[in-house]
Amino acid sequence: MASPPEKVILVTGGTGLVGKAIEKVVCDEKRPDEKWIFVSSKDADLTNKQETEALFAKHKPTHVIHLAAMVGGLFRNLKYNLDFLRNNLQINDNVLHTSYQTGVTKVVSCLSTCIFPDKTTYPIDETMIHSGPPHESNFGYSYAKRLIDVQNRAYHAQHGCRFTAVIPTNVFGPHDNFNLEDGHVLAGLISKTHTAKTFGTPLHVWGTGSPLRQFIYSLDLARLIVWVLRDYEEVEPIILS
């Protein structure tokens, strides 16, 4: 009996927090019918169409997990909203259109909880993504991520592409970024706590303490993303928490 054709899965942003977690999960599984390729910005500048096309020509993926993005913490987002918008629009368009042009079977992109409206009701679900503007502090990044969902639906409607997206809650785990300017909330709090303990200084936490946050461990998220790649067949994005 012939063995099933090998899946070649390209993971953009493959050396970050989520990419490293996926790498560990699939390396532990060792499925013989899957070849996983993890790439970073050192392998290609995904804002550049020609470099994106060259990356796909080199690896010839059948499936893509798209994690690559220009990311940053609150301070960088406040200062560079236009840069976050333009760079992420370019990255996403290059990856999705090259996937379409090269006949990639399925793309799973990673969105963010910041895409949801700033003023909304709870609990949040996937139908609420476009029901109001995101928070003004990082609107550039948020709108770029929202548009992945729009692109996925358009590629499916016009070309029948199996492009979808996941929306994880706040992620933490090994290989996180603990830089206060660029990192996310839990890593930032860990970094602040470590500094306060090391130097005996006060620990200051910004905000009122009233917002509610959900967190997911990176390895748990990785297992869910791999499940989405293998088994989730909808174009509509899915929250992972």
Task: Work out whether the CA dihedral 89, 95, 99, 105 comes out positive or negative.
Answer: negative
Beta partners for residue 221, in sequence order: none
Q: Is 141 a catalytic residue?
A: yes
CA distance 231 to 112: 21
Find the catalytic residue in 100, 122, 141, 217.
141
Q: Scan for tokens 């993303």, then name that residue.
A: 225
Are the C-beta atoms of residues 113 and 21 closer than 8 Å to each other? Answer: no
Q: Scan for tokens 């139908």, then name that residue.
A: 127
Which one-letter DSSP state was computed for residue 195?
A: H
What is the length of the chain?
Answer: 241
The residue type found at 38 is F
Half-sphere exposure of 108 (CA within 13 A, CB side): 25
Q: How would you class 219 by CB atoms within 10 Å of its CB: exposed for 0-12, middle for 13-18, buried for 19 or more?
A: middle
Of 237, 187, 181, nearest to 213 by C-alpha is: 187
CA distance 236 to 89: 20
The residue type found at 196 is A
Please give the positions annotated as active site: 141
